[in-house]
Chain A
Amino acid sequence: MFRTKVSLWDWILIAVVLLAACSLLLFAWLPKSAGSVLLVTTPQGSAEYSLLEDREFSLSSNGVTLTVRIADGAALVTESDCPDGVCRASASIAKVGEMIVCAPAGIRLTVKGGESDVDFVAG
């Protein structure tokens, strides 16, 4: 059904995939505003932490423990014992909408904007 000699259609398909990848990259690089609140969502509930105060804390869920550090307005996962390591490899997040996810733990860290006059909300 398919040919075995490279044709124009192959280059067209490769170009379509590369174009899609570049478009998504541009979308990712759109400027976003700096956030001030870190929303932590776990299967047990959610909590908010201010990004303006440096701190370090641990989260545990589904047998996985993460250590999160907030410093200079950004949050980063510094340690994690999860099997795949996406959270450890993620860059620090500081802009609104940026997110770090640990799939095995079911933990999501999201940066939100706006004022927050509480350091911790359990719920």
Chain B
Amino acid sequence: MSILSRGSRTRRICIDALLCAVAMMLSYLEALLPLNLAIPLPGFRLGLANVIVVVTFSLLTPTDAAAISATRILLMGLLFGSVTSLYFSAMGGLVSFCALLLLRCFRIKCSFVGVSVLSAAAHNTGQIIAAVTLFGMSLIPSYLPLLLFASVLYGGIVGVLLNLLIPRLQAPLARVL
């Protein structure tokens, strides 16, 4: 279902830009959190910005979600990161988005819990693939399993929150957007 089934292209661009700004804000906020105290894995992210992509994918269209994801990654990389971090982020975002597309293609009827877990796992897998292309094979066995366990935990928490929030947000969002 698409909230944007009505409305002009300009309106759609504005809404996507707004959502992209929210995603960037969440990304920045996440970078401020001292995650290393809770999970001592360098490079592990809660993926708060990915929540916006998942919600957009569900409530709007996959094209909007792709545009928001790509713009957010590019802008955050240019503003706050390096070429390497941009590459890692882009690979994570790409694999994560492919996972969402697979869910849609196969019409898998899961809730936001399954989506968040799969999306987080795919994101971390994409980042490990980026690391392997730069540094070689030995990172996979030691690092990826830990990231996958952590993504099940945090993806599950985010998914449960989305399951609670989305039904309550749909009506107000439909009025505003």
* Measured CA separation A64–B142 after assembly (Å): 24
Cβ–Cβ contact B118 & A13, under 8 A: yes
Interface string of B4-26 (1 = CB under 8 A from A): 00000000000000000000000
What residues on B are CB-neighbors of A3 within 8 Å?
109-112
- The count of chain A contact residues (Cβ–Cβ below 8 Å) is 34
8 Å CB interface, A6-21 against B = 6-7, 9-14, 16-18, 20-21
Interface string of B86-112 (1 = CB under 8 A from A): 000000000000000001100011111
Chain A residues with CB under 8 Å of chain B are 1-7, 9-14, 16-18, 20-22, 24-25, 27-28, 84-86, 89, 97-99, 101, 103, 108, 110
* Measured CA separation A63–B1 after assembly (Å): 52
Known contacts A1-B58, A2-B58, A2-B110; is-contact A103 B148 (Cβ 8 Å): no
Contact of B152 among A1, A14, A27, A84 (CB under 8 A): A14
* Measured CA separation A110–B84 after assembly (Å): 22
Contact of B117 among A1, A13, A89, A110 (CB under 8 A): A13
Cβ–Cβ contact B111 & A99, under 8 A: no
8 Å CB interface, B121-177 against A = 121, 131, 134-136, 138-142, 144-146, 148-149, 151-152, 156, 159, 162-164, 166-167
What residues on A are CB-neighbors of B113 within 8 Å?
6, 10, 14
- B102 to chain A minimum Cβ distance, whole angstroms, is 11
| Closest A residue to B40 using CB positions | A89
| Closest B residue to A18 using CB positions | B152
B77 CB–A CB distance under 8 Å: no
- The count of chain B contact residues (Cβ–Cβ below 8 Å) is 45
Interface string of B53-66 (1 = CB under 8 A from A): 01001110000000
Known contacts A10-B110, A108-B135; is-contact A24 B115 (Cβ 8 Å): no
Which 7 A/B pairs are nearest by Cβ-Cβ distance? Answer: A28-B141, A99-B138, A10-B114, A21-B148, A9-B110, A13-B114, A21-B145
B42 CB–A CB distance under 8 Å: yes
What residues on B are CB-neighbors of A14 within 8 Å?
113-114, 117, 152, 156
What residues on B are CB-neighbors of A110 within 8 Å?
136, 138
* Measured CA separation A24–B125 after assembly (Å): 12
What residues on B are CB-neighbors of A13 within 8 Å?
108, 110, 114, 117-118
- A114 to chain B minimum Cβ distance, whole angstroms, is 18
What residues on A are CB-neighbors of B166 within 8 Å?
4
Known contacts A24-B144, A84-B42; is-contact A103 B134 (Cβ 8 Å): yes
Cβ–Cβ contact A25 & B145, under 8 A: yes
Cβ–Cβ contact A24 & B145, under 8 A: yes
What residues on A are CB-neighbors of B164 within 8 Å?
4
Cβ–Cβ contact A17 & B151, under 8 A: yes
Cβ–Cβ contact B84 & A103, under 8 A: yes
Cβ–Cβ contact A98 & B117, under 8 A: no
